[in-house]
Amino acid sequence: MNYTTVIGLECHVELSTKTKAYCSCSTQFGGKPNSHVCPVCLGLPGALPVINQEVVNSAIKAGLAMNCQINRVQHYDRKNYFYPDTPKNYQITQQATPICSDGWIEIELASGEKKKIGIERIHMEEDAGKQLHTKAGTLVDFNRSGVPLIEIVSKPDLRSKEEATLYMTKLRSILEALEVSDVRMEEGSLRVDLNVSVMPEGATEFGVRAEIKNLNSFKSMEKAVEFETARQIRALEEGIERSEETRRWDETKNETILMRSKEMANDYRYFPEGDLVTLRITDEWIEAVRQTIPELPHEKAERFVASYGVTKYDASVLTLSDELACFFDETAAISGDGKAAANWLMGDISRLMNEEAITAGKLKFAPQDLHELTVLIREGKISNAAGKKVVEEMFRTGEKPGELVERLGLAQVSDEGKILDVIRQVLDDNPRVMEDYRAGKTKIIGFAVGLVMKASKGSANPKVVNELVAQEISRRAEV
């Protein structure tokens, strides 16, 4: 029997506000343990929370970018649970009245087909602290306690690990462009809870789902989908009775591990947060936030294709990072040669950035410098191979392309007289070339071109070399 995998994602997004959700403590990552705390985020008796307006603005901005309805009347709720890293023994969240609902984002499948993935809700909440498990025992750092989050809950519209990754990639790029979060999964700014179930192909009723908590990479998410799909299919075929459960991903064993049975809403004993007022969001407020929304990645990609002539694929890669998209946009606007800029950024420059683990915003050279490099190549002043050497030095030192060409002696020779002298010397030193040519082996011309390029140490203009080698061999063959 064939089965269909059904996937829904709950994304916890740490917001890039300077202060916490309900107090003025810093949200800066790191810092000495328990140094970014106060009576409010520690839940001390008598301390009262205050709504951070920037958190609300960020949630509205995300909702608008994801085509959501913004719900005008906002209430806060208490979600009760008892963990060492939850100082109040409850989390301030939104259960009954999420700030955003009924939205969608669109992904493009490998086939080129576009698919809308529904956004069920976006709600505001606060983060818990962090437990540190040491040999001496479990310690708790409350610096992260009270850091503002939005939780983005998709509808169960995803059907494969590939779709899940496309959705998460699109979601992350939107959030980064909005600047509501730095979406650094390695720092916990973006965490994913994965809901997976399977059902017989053609069925309309979803199977029993499992939730896999706190995945912090796309790779882990894909592996978890694979494992859970296989585990649940095996259980169905063996007739094993199952109930909804919460599991965790074990990176070492590459499998999900049972944590507990799945909690339901009544397990958390939700009730209204009495210390925060009802929040009313006006049309004017929403419109003011709407005006701050920049051009989104998919909109940029469409413009790059239309304005700069790059392929849809190239445009999609260039817009995965807002910094890379901006660097490309500025370079292409200066040079008018979007294809050359895209090739360098997606090729050698991306490779160098990956090796050094930096982003386009940390590059030591500017878009004007990349434009200058493409001009040097286009005008034949340096070869493409020399351009690769220049890029590596630009990346390392930030030195200007023209200065590097001169310092490294990479200027391309186009003087026909000088190149012809090299060609004649090469042919004199390699009589086999003429012997093979006269025997009808015309492909030897390419071999001769390679010898000339080697003799010139790559400085000769390849186009001129190709033309002159063919002419000189043909001349000699007639003698």
For residue 69, report the phi and psi dihedrals to the nearest 5 degrees. Answer: -80, 130
Contact by Cβ (8 Å): 262, 270: no
Q: Please list the ranges in the chain whose pLDDT falls under 50.
A: none
pLDDT of residue 264: 62
The alpha carbon of 397 is separated from its chain's Cα centroid by a whole number of angstroms, namely 26
Structure confidence by residue, pLDDT tens digits, 404-463 = 988 888 776 676 788 888 888 988 899 888 888 888 888 888 888 888 888 877 777 777
The answer to whether the predicted template modeling score (pTM) of the entire model surpasses 0.85 is no
Assign 301 to helix, strand or coil: helix
pLDDT of residue 290: 97
pLDDT of residue 369: 96
Contact by Cβ (8 Å): 147, 26: no
DSSP class of residue 47 equals: -
Sign of CA dihedral 222, 227, 229, 230: positive
Burial classification of residue 127, based on how many CB atoms lie within 10 Å of its CB (0-12 exposed, 13-18 middle, 19 or more buried): buried
**Separation between Cα atoms, residue 172 and residue 329, nearest integer Å:** 20
**Separation between Cα atoms, residue 77 and residue 270, nearest integer Å:** 6
Assign 387 to helix, strand or coil: helix
Instruction: Give the chain's radius of gyration (CA, Å).
Output: 30
Assign 419 to helix, strand or coil: helix
DSSP class of residue 460 equals: B
For residue 67, report the phi and psi dihedrals to the nearest 5 degrees. Answer: 60, 35
The alpha carbon of 281 is separated from its chain's Cα centroid by a whole number of angstroms, namely 32
Sign of CA dihedral 294, 26, 277, 154: positive
The domains of the chain, with CATH numbers, are 3-289 (no CATH), 297-408 (no CATH), 416-478 (1.10.10.410)
Cα distances from 156 to residues 10, 206, 220, 282, 362, in angstroms, run 10, 9, 19, 31, 38
Q: Enter the tokens of residue 211.
A: 């939730």
pLDDT of residue 310: 94
Q: At what angle do helices 367-378 and 384-397 cross, to 10 degrees?
A: 160
Instruction: Render the burial of 17-39: b for 16+ CB within 10 Å, e for the rest.
Output: bebbbbbebebeeeeeeeebbee
Q: Enter the tokens of residue 201.
A: 């192909």
Contact by Cβ (8 Å): 297, 173: yes
pLDDT of residue 415: 67
pLDDT of residue 22: 97
